[in-house]
Structure 1
Amino acid sequence: MNKIIYILISLVLLSGCAKEEAVPVIVDFDFEVFNNDYSIPVQVVFFNRTEGGEEYEWTFEGGVPSRSVNRNPGVIQYDTKGTYTIQLFSTNQDGEQDSKEIQIQIDDPVIVDFKVTNQTDNFAPAAYTFQNTSSGASTYLWTFEGGTPATSIEKEPGEVVFTDPGEHTIVLEISNGRETYAKQHIITVAPFLVSDFEYTIAFDDDDFQVPAKVKFINNSISATTYDWSFEGTSVFSSQEKDPEVVFTQLGTQRVLLTVSNGKQTKTSSKEITFFSNTNLRELKDIKLGINTAHNANTVGSFYSIAKRKGYTSEEITPEVGSQIDLVFFGLNQAFTLNRFTSPDTMSGTTFEELQNPKNTIFINSLELCGCSASMTSAQFDALQNDSVFRNMVIEETSGGLQGFDDTKKPRIILFKTKEGKKGAIKIKDFVADGPNSYILVDIKVQKETL
């Protein structure tokens, strides 16, 4: 009997020991914020790391969606700044349960921006103020390259002064404690003030004989006002940027330019020497080609005194033709027959007729002209003014129109233009260069008819 009772007790005990134990639930999860950007809108994905759970309930305060029963709820979006609680509750069939909650902070957007205001102008020293239009930040760091002060942690840094010309980089770096953004802006401080100028003299006055018209070209830097002072002219001052002045007095005349930009003032000066009016224009080393050189467009045979330029056949237009004063005709490279002829008389030459030509009187052969006019090479060289020409009578004669060869050198040719200006040509050389042969001459002629 006792043995039977022992066996029954053992079976009962064994049955109790075989009962299954309950599985515990241990809730855990983590998350990842897209681009690590906590500024709205914020997208968060949650990863369920729970062990032992079978059913789940997520609660997302402030999120969209705000609830989920999926093991992994996907992407939750937050559109409003704030601190929100995320909770995960989980159970299993054994009746076990657990939960976990965390908080997430959602920030306003972090936007970095600022405005730059120049206080007066950008001439050194240049002062600027800065308006901070950023949002979503709690700390600020300004860097002012070349500025005083060089840095600032204030939201509005106040006035900053830049003393060196050139480009200066301004950087604003902002942060909300988790995210940092920066923006830069470049300001340009104008170069230091410089007073400087140059001048050009009118084409007809380039011998600096009074009256002489001079154009002043202002090359000053960082200037806003100009104050000119002139000697030797009836216009003693000017506030124009690039004035034009006629000088009437002889000698060395001084010109001053004082410039300012409201912060600095600088002055520069130049001296210009003017001479008495000789009413004599001297043109040196002019080449006039024989007819083949002219027609081949290598050395022109036509010359304009007003333009002080020789022209080839290709360069002759109706406008140019009306300004020609001197025409040289050289028959060949041996210089056996040469003469100057009036622009309105092309007969006996190989040149085409000019349109609206001038009439110029020439004395090619002083020895044959049978006239009172005369001049030697030495007298030509000695001319310092037009006094010899004033009383000289230059008339066209058949003898004076006769051509010449190269046996006499130098040779003097006298002429009178359509405007009545009298002058002389000195043939210095006959240069043989095949079909491109030419004569080399100096010319002295009245500037104005008196």
Structure 2
Amino acid sequence: MGHKVRFMVYLLFFWCVSCAKEEAVPVQVDFYVKVENQDYSVPVLIKIINQTQDADTYHWTFEGGSPSISTDKNPGIIQYSNAGDYTIRLQASNKDGSEGSKEIKVTTDADIIAGFKAIVVDDHFPPVMVNILNTTEGAKSFQWTFEGGEPSLSFDREPGVVVFEEPGDYRVRMEASNGRESKIVEQTVSVASHLLADFDFEPVFEDDDLQVPVTLMLKNNSISATEYEWTFEGGNPTTNNGEDPQVVFNNHGTYSIQLKANNGKASQTISKQVTLFPNTNLRIFSNVRLGINTAHNTNSNGAFFSTKTRMVYSKDDLPNLDGSLVDIAFFGLNADFTFNKFISPDEVQEYTFDAIPNANHTKFINLQESCNCSAALTMDQFDAMEDDTLLQSLNIEETLEGTQDFDDAMVPRIILFKTSDGRKGAIKIKEFIQAGLDSYILVDIKVQKQ
């Protein structure tokens, strides 16, 4: 009976041991990877998410990665610096001796370094040819868009030459792809305006009455031109290749000025006419204001005038004034015009004015009616004067009687003068304007040019 009990105990023991071996826990290996930012272009960062169950030890192998191996349960993020196909492998085991493994294949792409050069052939004048040079690295396919160009679209790596016919700014766009990722690069191509020949002309200051001889200054307004051919009918010179030349005309008449503009791709010609007049040798100024002494000294109406600059000057103008240009000075004592006279610029300091630096002497005849001289010019003669014929014959000399003052009793009044450089002229006082301290006279002036 005792043997039988012991036998039964032994059977129960072996049965239990057998049951324990059959119930050993297996390892369930599982993991997946996540590419950071879905960016497969190197450097690529891959996060490992381990979902393995019932494992005690882990052995990771990261082909081409950094790190290349790990024994951590969660190895974290692996970096791949080179493009290629790589295997990530996990071998896991537990204390029961159970083992398992899993592999995942990953592919990394080369980084796309997108770029191109748009090289303009010759120049920016239409039509413009642009040679497209692709400098992109790491891409497998391309899509080009050429706004306003011919062709307008291309899928070639090297699209070659694109032609832009019309003026404007156009966008050249390249999209480069490696199959999973793409990058876009844009540039602008500028096409200049179509060629246009155009110009204006104006006389130099001294010749603004267009009486010969006349010097004309040409202002070139041409667009998209690089070369110029000027032809001046009757001018000196007769031709010129400058951009903004000058030309002199010595004879009166109507003349043609022609400009041919060129840019190497196109040329255009334009002509304009200029009419020049005989030389009267007479300069005419109308409605010149000359102030009394208080108006001059407060700068409301100047009392000095230059027939060369055609300007009136007041007290504040003197420091920056070349006094040798002043021909005429007027002194008015008060707003009632009881004492008035024209005085030489080099004598103004004797009449309450500041001296004019570098002033010259001008001879005046204020009172023709009592000058005891041969010079005389009537009102009608002044008004009818269209050239300097009458002035040529006048013998203008200063006399004590002729330089005397006058009042406003006679209107209009004619004043004769002769400048230091020998030019003769006449002043017609048209009005005495009473305006208190700002009072002035209104005059017309006719004077020889030379």
Q: TM-score, normalised by structure 1?
A: 0.94
Match of 1:52 in 2: 54
The one-letter code sitting in structure 1 at the alignment partner of 2:252 is: L
Match of 1:278 in 2: 280
The gaps in structure 1 that reach 5 residues or longer are none
Counterpart Cα distance in 2 of 1:234 and 1:357 = 36
The gaps in structure 2 that reach 5 residues or longer are none
The one-letter code sitting in structure 1 at the alignment partner of 2:40 is: Y
Q: Would you say the 8 A contact 2:322–2:358 is kept in 1?
A: no
**Percent identity between the two aligned chains:** 48
Match of 1:82 in 2: 84
SS in 2 for 1:346: helix
Q: Would you say the 8 A contact 1:318–1:354 is kept in 2?
A: no
Match of 1:432 in 2: 434
The one-letter code sitting in structure 2 at the alignment partner of 1:327 is: A
Counterpart Cα distance in 2 of 1:316 and 1:427 = 25
Match of 1:390 in 2: 392
Counterpart Cα distance in 2 of 1:353 and 1:243 = 41
178 and 296 in structure 1: CA distance in 2 versus 1, 3 angstrom threshold: same
SS in 1 for 2:351: coil
SS in 2 for 1:159: strand
Deviation at 1:346? 3.0
Match of 1:184 in 2: 186
Q: Would you say the 8 A contact 1:259–1:267 is kept in 2?
A: yes
170 and 234 in structure 1: CA distance in 2 versus 1, 3 angstrom threshold: same
Deviation at 1:45? 1.9
Counterpart Cα distance in 1 of 2:24 and 2:16 = 17
Q: Would you say the 8 A contact 2:429–2:441 is kept in 1?
A: yes
Task: Indicate the larger mover: 350-359 or 414-423.
Answer: 350-359
Within a 5 Å distance, the mapping from 1:67-146 to structure 2 comes to 67-146=69-148
Within the candidate set 218, 223, 228, 1:221 is matched to: 223
The one-letter code sitting in structure 2 at the alignment partner of 1:62 is: G
Match of 2:66 in 1: 64
Q: Would you say the 8 A contact 1:232–1:250 is kept in 2?
A: no
Question: Per-residue CA shift, 1:311-357, capped at 9, x if unaligned?
Answer: 00111137432221111001110011111011122365111232322
Deviation at 1:403? 1.1
Within the candidate set 314, 317, 320, 1:315 is matched to: 317
The one-letter code sitting in structure 2 at the alignment partner of 1:422 is: K
SS in 2 for 1:77: strand
Task: Indicate the larger mover: 348-357 or 395-404.
Answer: 348-357
Counterpart Cα distance in 1 of 2:408 and 2:93 = 129
Match of 1:341 in 2: 343
Match of 2:401 in 1: 399
Task: Indicate the larger mover: 84-93 or 287-296.
Answer: 84-93
Match of 1:257 in 2: 259
Counterpart Cα distance in 2 of 1:140 and 1:428 = 84
Counterpart Cα distance in 1 of 2:356 and 2:86 = 99
Q: Would you say the 8 A contact 1:30–1:46 is kept in 2?
A: yes
SS in 1 for 2:380: helix
Deviation at 1:169? 1.1
Question: Per-residue CA shift, 1:67-105, capped at 9, x if unaligned?
Answer: 111111122222232211111111222222221111111
Match of 2:155 in 1: 153
Question: Per-residue CA shift, 1:247-284, capped at 9, x if unaligned?
Answer: 12212222111101111212222221110000000011
Counterpart Cα distance in 1 of 2:195 and 2:146 = 23
Deviation at 1:125? 0.7
Match of 1:26 in 2: 28
Deviation at 1:396? 0.7
347 and 88 in structure 1: CA distance in 2 versus 1, 3 angstrom threshold: closer
Within the candidate set 332, 335, 349, 2:334 is matched to: 332
421 and 40 in structure 1: CA distance in 2 versus 1, 3 angstrom threshold: same
Question: Per-residue CA shift, 1:20-77, capped at 9, x if unaligned?
Answer: 6222222111112233222222222211111222221111111222211111112222
Within the candidate set 407, 410, 415, 1:408 is matched to: 410
The one-letter code sitting in structure 1 at the alignment partner of 2:263 is: N
83 and 14 in structure 1: CA distance in 2 versus 1, 3 angstrom threshold: closer
Counterpart Cα distance in 1 of 2:206 and 2:165 = 47
Match of 2:40 in 1: 38
What is the CA RMSD across the aligned residues, in angstroms? 2.0
Match of 1:376 in 2: 378
The one-letter code sitting in structure 2 at the alignment partner of 1:55 is: T
Q: TM-score, normalised by structure 2?
A: 0.94
| Aligned length, in residue pairs | 445
Deviation at 1:380? 0.4
